[in-house]
């Protein structure tokens, strides 16, 4: 069975066509800079062959149409008919309290994803557009939703409750949900294997355009940095991360804005872009900082400091730390960023092998020094494979 996995993010759309017979990737690609100048699709297939389409891509629907076009392309495509796709697995951001596992998509599931847009304002609309574009192109192909919130369901109440009146939890289910769950599940699962001992205390730093941290004890999520929505936690590409909630009212008053307008600013115009003024993309922020841009330097300092504080607090929450793991776009590729985060954590037993750390990009590797008490690893995430496995299991009735 061939499964198409769609991961529609805020400004990007990743896809992979996976042959479940051997879990090999037949083709994969990335639509970048959706809605930003310079958008393009990069399609990879076969023996490292690459096909690029540079075109204005205003929204996710246009991006999905371009993916289908690339898969069916006479010269560079890998399919002769769209019917060769047995099922589509979609990464879906927010499942509220309704979904604690992956599920076959029907109208009710779509309605629920729509209902949770206020909880995932950057992603749920993009996920829905991906689902609807696929339905339009291949109406008979089953589609599965794999929720980012599912892995975090094992958190204890002391970690997921907010200190607001209890009735708001009962009436409105206001609590921490956490996101990037498929990635945290995949990466921490691999970390547990690498650690190889029955008891493990692992911190996963998923650092990408969206970023989140998780504390994983014996393979189960114990705490995570994102909350009711993906706005909470560390500083991100366009999101502020945690702040004093009173800032919302104060910003609204001073700038004559509605609460919704303030939240749009916190979701879309804050974080790396808000502080640096240069870009939401870490590569651009690094470049600006190298060129002497003081605000870009400040953004980098704030970013690394925030991640470092989570590492300290999760080590305390778990009563110690065995493995620290970096993953996602920044975590897998930005050696200097990882070094900045780990600087000063020797007291916790974290000691990088600086040379090895700087040499590791996009591959699994241990980056801690031989005498580091805590093992530090880069483990590339593979949300697509995790989604494809769930999708296969659901459509074949194994799940
Ligand atoms: P993701 O959301 O996981 O796709 O990650 C996207 C982020 O990874 C963007 O901020 C990119 O700038 C960042 N990224 C990718 N490659 C690098 C790199 N070589 N150095 C620093 N950041 C990178």
The pLDDT assigned to 320 comes to 98
Give the mean pLDDT of 31-43: 92
Question: DSSP code of 257?
Answer: -
CA distance 42 to 50: 7
Cα end-to-end distance, the chain, whole Å: 16
Does pLDDT of 85 surpass 90? yes
Give the mean pLDDT of 273-288: 98
The pLDDT assigned to 113 comes to 94
Q: Tokens 């996710």 correspond to what residue?
A: 60
In the reported structure, the alpha carbon of residue 58 is separated from the centroid of ligand 1 by a whole-number distance in angstroms of 21
The pLDDT assigned to 9 comes to 76
Q: Is 263 annotated as a binding residue?
A: no
Does pLDDT of 182 surpass 80? yes
Does pLDDT of 364 surpass 90? yes
The pLDDT assigned to 98 comes to 86
Locate the ligand 1 atom nearest the alpha carbon of residue 9 and give its number: 2
| Ligand 1 pocket residue status of 334, Cβ below 6 Å | yes
Q: Is 208 annotated as a binding residue?
A: yes
Does pLDDT of 261 surpass 90? yes
Does pLDDT of 290 surpass 90? yes
Give the mean pLDDT of 83-109: 92
Residues making up the chain, counted from first to last:
399
In the reported structure, the alpha carbon of residue 283 is separated from the centroid of ligand 1 by a whole-number distance in angstroms of 6
Which residue's C-alpha comes closest to atom 23 of ligand 1?
Answer: 330
Active-site entry in 22, 148, 334, 353 = 148
Which parts of 57-180 fold into alpha helices (H)? 60-72, 107-115, 124-137, 157-160, 166-172
5 three-state secondary structure: strand
Which residue's C-alpha comes closest to atom 4 of ligand 1?
Answer: 329
**Quick one: pLDDT band at residue 121, thresholds 50, 70, 90?**
confident
CA distance 147 to 347: 37
- Chain-centroid distance, C-alpha 105: 21
The pLDDT assigned to 177 comes to 97
- pTM, 2 dp: 0.87
Q: Contact 325/377 with Cβ under 8 angstroms?
A: yes
Does pLDDT of 120 surpass 80? no
**Quick one: pLDDT band at residue 393, thresholds 50, 70, 90?**
very high
Q: Is 219 annotated as a binding residue?
A: no
pLDDT > 70 in the chain, percent: 100
CA distance 172 to 170: 6
Q: Which of 13, 237, 283, 381 to mutate to test the pocket of ligand 1 (most atoms within 8 A of CB)?
A: 283
42 three-state secondary structure: strand
Which residue's C-alpha comes closest to atom 12 of ligand 1?
Answer: 282
| Active-site residue flag, 148 | yes
213: left (phi over 0), alpha (psi -120 to 50) or beta: beta
Give the pair of three-digit tokens for residue 236: 């991100």
| Ligand 1 pocket residue status of 328, Cβ below 6 Å | yes
In the reported structure, the alpha carbon of residue 94 is separated from the centroid of ligand 1 by a whole-number distance in angstroms of 23
Does pLDDT of 232 surpass 80? yes
Does pLDDT of 34 surpass 90? no
The pLDDT assigned to 100 comes to 82
Does pLDDT of 134 surpass 80? yes
Q: Is 300 annotated as a binding residue?
A: no
């Amino acid at each position: 069975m061939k499964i198409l996995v769609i991961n529609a993010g805020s400004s990007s759309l990743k896809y992979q066509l996976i042959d479940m017979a051997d879990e090999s990737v037949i083709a994969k690609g990335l639509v970048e800079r959706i809605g930003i100048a310079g958008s393009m699709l990069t399609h990879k297939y076969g023996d490292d062959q690459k096909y690029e389409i540079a075109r204005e891509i205003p929204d996710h629907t246009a991006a999905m149409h371009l993916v289908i076009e690339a898969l069916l392309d006479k010269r560079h495509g890998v399919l002769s008919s769209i019917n060769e796709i047995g099922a589509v697995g979609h990464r879906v951001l927010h499942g509220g309290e309704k979904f604690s596992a992956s599920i076959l998509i029907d109208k009710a599931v779509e309605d629920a994803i729509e209902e949770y847009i206020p909880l995932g304002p950057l992603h749920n609309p993009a996920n829905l557009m991906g689902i609807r574009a696929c339905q339009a192109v291949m109406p008979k192909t089953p589609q599965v939703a794999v929720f980012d919130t599912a892995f975090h369901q094992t958190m204890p109440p002391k970690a997921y409750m907010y200190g607001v009146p209890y009735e708001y939890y009962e009436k409105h289910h206001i609590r921490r949900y956490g996101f990037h769950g498929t990635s945290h599940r995949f990466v921490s699962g691999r970390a547990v294997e690498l650690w190889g001992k029955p008891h493990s205390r692992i911190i996963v730093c998923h650092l990408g355009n969206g970023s989140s941290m998780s504390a994983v004890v014996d393979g189960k999520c114990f705490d995570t940095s994102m909350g009711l929505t993906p706005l909470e936690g560390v500083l991100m590409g366009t999101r502020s991360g945690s702040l004093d909630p009173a800032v919302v009212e104060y910003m609204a008053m001073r700038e004559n804005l509605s609460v919704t307008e303030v939240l749009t600013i916190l979701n879309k115009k804050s974080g790396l872009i808000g502080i640096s003024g240069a870009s939401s993309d870490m590569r651009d922020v690094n470049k600006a900082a190298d060129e002497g841009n003081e605000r870009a330097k400040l953004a980098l300092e704030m970013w690394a400091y925030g991640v470092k504080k989570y590492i300290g607090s999760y080590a305390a929450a778990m009563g110690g730390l065995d493995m620290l793991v970096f993953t996602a776009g920044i975590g897998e590729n930005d050696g200097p960023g990882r070094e900045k985060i780990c600087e000063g954590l020797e007291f916790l037993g974290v000691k990088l092998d600086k040379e090895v750390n700087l040499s590791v990009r996009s591959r699994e590797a241990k980056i801690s020094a031989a005498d580091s008490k805590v093992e530090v690893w880069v483990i590339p995430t593979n949300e697509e494979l995790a989604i494809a496995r769930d999708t296969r299991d659901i459509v074949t009735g194994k799940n």
